[in-house]
Amino acid sequence: MRTAVVAALLGLGAFAAAAGLVLQLHAYPLLAKLQHDINTVSISEGEGVTAVVHPPAGMPEVRHNLRLTATTHVEGDLAAPEVKENGDVTVWKRATIVKEDSDKLVLSAEVRKVCLDRRTGEAVAPCKGEFYETEQGRRITAEGRRLLQPGLNFVFPFNTEQRDHRWYDTVLNRPVAIHFAGEQLLQGLDVYRFAHTVPPTALDRLEVPGALVGSPEPSVDVTRYYGVTRTLLVEPTTGAVLSVREDIRQELRTDAQAEGAGTPVFAGELRLTNASVTSNVDQVKQNLPRLFVITVLPVVLWVAGAVLVVAGLVLLAVRRRGLVAGALALVIGACLGGALTYGVTDANDPDGSLDLKNVVSSSNVDYGLR
């Protein structure tokens, strides 16, 4: 009877330890990664915004107290050459359009394509086909191994740390340090808050109609300035950005004008709607149990396995019988634990359900937003 108990303890202990090892070494890199086939739409809104609009038959003009809607569509490019089953890189495309609600006039629109490290969320190069387009017909593309849009563009790393990260600013076209600013609850989830402020920064020189900036001259040379205060709420286990709030300030200044004395191009706040935030939170809540299995459960299994094996070895030392049965139980338990966990992990591999050999790239990369 004691021999059977020893064998059971050693076998179960080996099973647990092997399962934990496979979860850590095989399941974690297989499952804790950005998906190739992302397809999401999110909405941001702003009220009381001042902005320049372009009426269909008229000169650009400054309008106040506008209500705006920004629509962002993110989609995976499964036809990109960098996209491979269980590869380390994925390719995402994003299209954003901002409209004022009353006349449905477009204030701005952009399309981007970026290669991402599937675990850190950082943009990587080389990336064939990487580009951004903020003016229709004027597409900026990557050359060679040059990183066109460095830093974090969509998400934070898995197991996000409480430190500064590099967040890519799509107006400055460069990454800016975003700082850890605390923790809070968001719809039942513990999240990290990251924030930064970009001070008014000169972007480019423009020639604009004099009437736009209050000048009697037919045209005036001005400098466009941009600043923003950005706050992101991030779920740290997945790195998902759940909420975005941006207080944006752009103005046109002549050489004689000081900060704040120019003509506002955009002044107001855009934030994700409650519906979009809730959708993001619901998606994370679906993913967290799977990540629990591959992050916390291995430690639990190792501890349980160690306790069981030690108990079995103690009984074996006291009894001094059942050595062969105990050794056999260790081998069988370890093999069963490893094989079963390996098989279950592979069956749940999100890349396994994708047909990456028969994908046709979308010819409408801006998703009809413009």
Task: Provide DSSP, 206-226.
Answer: EEEEGGGGT-SSSEEEEEEEE
Domain boundaries, the chain: 2-27+298-353, 28-286
Round to whole Å and give the CA distance between 213 and 210. Answer: 6
* DSSP structure class, residue 134: E
pLDDT at 218: 87
Look-up of token digits 């080996």? 14
**Cβ contact 116:122 at 8 Å:** yes
Amino acid at 243: S
**171 Cβ partners below 8 Å, 6+ apart?**
203, 226, 228
pLDDT at 328: 73
Q: Give backbone dihedrals phi and psi of 343, rounded to 5 degrees, phi first.
A: -65, -45
Strands 131-135 and 138-141: antiparallel
pTM score, two decimals?
A: 0.86
Dihedral angle sign, alpha carbons of residues 165, 169, 174, 176? negative
User: One digit per residue, pLDDT tens: the chain, 370 residues?
Assistant: 567 776 777 767 677 777 777 777 777 777 789 999 999 999 999 999 999 998 887 788 899 999 999 999 999 999 999 999 889 999 999 999 999 999 899 999 999 999 999 999 999 999 988 999 988 888 988 877 789 999 999 999 999 999 999 999 999 999 999 999 999 999 999 999 999 999 999 999 988 888 888 888 888 899 999 999 999 999 999 999 999 999 999 999 988 888 888 899 999 999 999 999 999 999 999 988 887 777 777 788 778 777 777 776 777 677 666 666 666 766 776 677 777 777 776 777 777 767 666 665 554 444 344 3
Contacts of the segment 353-358: beta carbons below 8 A, 24+ positions apart: 354/36, 354/37, 354/78, 354/85, 356/36, 356/78, 356/83, 356/84, 356/85
pLDDT at 357: 64
